[in-house]
Amino acid sequence: MAVFEGAGVALITPFKENGEVNYEKLEELVEEQIAGGTDAIIACGTTGEASTMSHEEHLDVIRFVCEKVKGRLPVVAGTGSNCTETAVYLSEEAEKLGADAVLQVSPYYNKATQKGLYKHFAAVAEAIRIPVILYNIPGRTGVNIAAGTIADLCKNVDNIVGVKEASGNFSAIAQLMNLTDGNIDLYSGNDDQIVPILSLGGKGVISVLSNIAPQQTHDICAAFFAGNAMESARLQLAAIPLIEALFCEVNPIPVKAAMNMMGKGAGPLRLPLTEMEPQNQVRLRAAMEAYGIL
């Protein structure tokens, strides 16, 4: 059984003006997501600014989210690192804190070989009992996890169950699904590619859009699973202008700006991320208004 099916939110981490994690707002966001139809919560991923958190903060956010969700939805903890020892440590701790699965981004900066990637992910998975979802995003990490490597990991390591694919390379994704006979939990890592991924046998999306439109993102997946691919495609296409605005600057700059426009108290970003440029804020606000969420 998949960790989840549908739209999982890549949840932002709200900060106070002094830079501390705003746990009061975080609890509100968790409850809003559950009420809004989200199918899973992904804590401390890219959108959650985990790369600027200390280990203590990182694990405390995971603990807090698990405690507040209370088993109502699966919680997937982002515990990746370019250091295998660190990724193992964070994953072991996340399991102890109650996470249902971990999300493992490919090691960044090191530019490991495919052999190195295999050994890294296998070492993390073998240290824990909960499922591991790989995260392939070569645009951020500088390295692609080849379809053959993902397939071998899913076949040979029991608790490596799937991948969040943000490469945009549909030929490689189709090859992966062929190599695994579709026996892999495939999630879109790009909000503008949910329906194409579902059409290849995907289980859903790990979504930035869900932060501001949880029900609508859920509905894209739900319509497809209900056999109404045309409605799913209509919903996907209707969201494209907003999705483009959400990625006109690097994530999570726009989505935090959008949430602040909606009065959700996302707070500031941590450096080196900076506030959204004024002209892009105008574009984002217009897209939100056209989509009906502002």
Q: Which residues are catalytically annotated? A: 135, 164
Residues 6+ apart with CB under 8 A from 259: 12, 211, 212, 265, 266
- Contact (Cβ atoms closer than 8 angstroms) between residue 173 and residue 147: yes
Lookup: tokens for 258: 């959008």
**Dihedral in degrees, nearest 10, Cα atoms 50, 55, 61, 66:** 110
Question: What are the distances in angstroms from CA 72 to CA 66, 89, 103, 224?
Answer: 10, 26, 19, 23
Please count the residues of the chain: 294
CA distance 217 to 85: 35
Task: Work out the angle at residue 64's Cα, subtended by the Cα atoms of residues 78 and 71, and round it to the nearest 5 degrees.
Answer: 85
CA distance 273 to 257: 12
